[in-house]
Amino acid sequence: MYFNNETVLYLDGKFVKATESTTDLYGQTLHYGYGAFEGIRSYETEHGTKVFKAEEHYERLKKSCELVKIPFNYTMQELVEATYELLEKNNLRNAYIRPLVYCAPNMSLTKPTSVSLMIAVWDWGAYLGEKLLRLTVSSFCRPHPKSIHIEAKICGHYVNSILATTEAKDKGFDEALLLDSDGFLAEGPGANLFFEKDGKLFTPQLGNILPGITRSTVLELAAQLGLEVQQGNFTKEDLLQADSAFYCGTAAEVVGIASVDDYQFPKNWNDSLGKKLQNAYSLLVREPLKQNHLN
């Protein structure tokens, strides 16, 4: 349950009860998936609540809107401050945060003249759970980058993700792995892919994937730990010869992969580079901010 009678949302500059908020049924976001969103997490630290990389997420939200011609007239400061206040109003510390920019009523296929911005927060554990994942390569591919702005986090893009995940679960797997339109490894329905081979890490290059903020964080942590990471075009066969693999994303955090279809990764997860990065990520997101926004 994402909300109850006491849950508060941030909606167009005001804090309102979720049960008392309304929306128009003729909006383009509802009818066409024409909207932009983010996924952010907050963590409880010894010095108070910390929203991890809040500015980066809101900058990406702004960029997503700009790419698809959705108006965005908010400053990073007001959105970050609203997020901290919203967490406080809902008495949440370890939380998932969902900002959504959605369009005003308009049944035509033209850019909107006005939008609304909503931020919701709720208690949500690791999206893919804690156990190692069993993946299957999806029959669906990621959209071609010339058909959409693949780097934008747009609502309608996630129909592709829903189809892939549903197919995987219907086949008895935990999650899907998608290839791009050229047959190279792309990403999960809501997470980026890394795999390990002979002490090195590999990850699909930008261009056909969402440039995840958690992916960027993992690359930063790998550099700090002195780990070599190669970004490029890799095939399913490359993955099926790897020692270990993991997914990463804001909702999923860092989660190990046990297998892809019939291939079992041979390396014990606890001995893998992914586990080392999982531990480093867990410590990083819980490091106290230098100056907490709630002070």
- The predicted-structure confidence for 45-71, as pLDDT tens digits, reads as follows 999 999 999 999 999 999 999 999 999
Write the burial class of residue 73 (CB in 10 Å: 0-12 exposed, 13-18 middle, 19+ buried). Answer: exposed
Using one digit for the tens of pLDDT, what is the confidence trace for 95-116?
Answer: 999 999 999 999 999 999 999 9
* Coil vs helix vs strand at 203: strand
| Statement: residue 292 has pLDDT above 50 | no
Written as six digits, the tokens of 200 are: 């090195």
Percent of the chain residues topping a pLDDT of 70: 98
* Closest CA relative to residue 190, chosen from 258, 264, 270, 126: 126
Q: What is the pLDDT of residue 274?
A: 98
Choose between 39 and 130: higher pLDDT: 39
- Say which CATH topology domain 8-123 has: D-amino Acid Aminotransferase; Chain A, domain 1 (3.30.470)
Q: What is the pLDDT of residue 85?
A: 98
Q: For the chain, give every domain's residue range.
A: 8-123, 133-285
Q: What is the pLDDT of residue 291?
A: 54
Q: What CATH class has 133-285?
A: alpha beta
Q: What is the pLDDT of residue 294?
A: 45
Confidence of residue 262 (pLDDT cuts 50, 70, 90): very high
Using one digit for the tens of pLDDT, what is the confidence trace for 189-230?
Answer: 999 999 999 999 999 999 999 999 999 999 999 999 999 999
Average pLDDT over residues 20-25: 93
Average pLDDT over residues 32-42: 98
C-alpha neighbours within 13 Å on the C-beta side of residue 14: 6
Written as six digits, the tokens of 1 are: 């349950």
Cα separation, 290 vs 47, in Å, equals 9
- Sequence-distant (6+) residues with CB within 8 A of 19 are 3, 5, 7
Residue 87 — φ and ψ, nearest 5°? Answer: -60, -45
Q: What is the pLDDT of residue 289?
A: 74
Average pLDDT over residues 87-95: 97
Q: What is the pLDDT of residue 290?
A: 66
Cα separation, 239 vs 261, in Å, equals 11
Q: HEC states along the chain?
A: CCCCCCCEEEECCEEEEHHHCCCCCCEHHHHHCCEEECCEEEEEECCEEEECCHHHHHHHHHHHHHHCCCCCCCCHHHHHHHHHHHHHHCCCCCEEEEEEEEECECCCCCCCCCEEEEEEEECCCCCCCCCCEEEEEEEEECCCCCCCCCCCCEHHHHHHHHHHHHHHHHCCCCEEEEECCCCCEEECCCCEEEEEECCEEEEECCCCCCCCHHHHHHHHHHHHCCCCEEEECCCHHHHCCCCEEEEEECCCEEEEEEEECCEECCCCHHHCHHHHHHHHHHHHHCCCCCCCCCC
Q: What is the pLDDT of residue 285?
A: 97
Q: What is the pLDDT of residue 95?
A: 97
Q: What average pLDDT does the chain have? A: 96
What pTM was estimated for this model as a whole?
A: 0.95
Q: List active site positions.
A: 153
The answer to whether 8-123 and 133-285 have equal CATH topology is no
